[in-house]
Amino acid sequence: MKKQGLLHPELSALVAAAGHTQTIVLADTGLPIPPGTPRIELGIVAGSPDLLGVLRAVLGELVIEGATVASETRQVSPDWYARLKAELPTAPQEISHEELKARLPGALAVIRTGETTPYANVILHCGVNF
Q: Please confirm, yes or no, whether 20 is among the known catalytic residues.
A: yes
Q: Which residues contact 27 (CB under 8 A, 6 or more apart)?
A: 33, 51, 110, 111, 112, 113, 115, 120, 121
Distance between CA 24 and CA 20 in Å, rounded?
Answer: 11
Handedness of CA 19, 21, 22, 26 (dihedral sign): positive
Distance between CA 76 and CA 64 in Å, rounded?
Answer: 25
Tell me which of 8, 20, 97, 125 is the catalytic residue.
20
E strand or H helix at 126: strand 122-126
Vertex 107 angle, CA 46 and 82, to 5°: 50
Residues classed as catalytic: 20
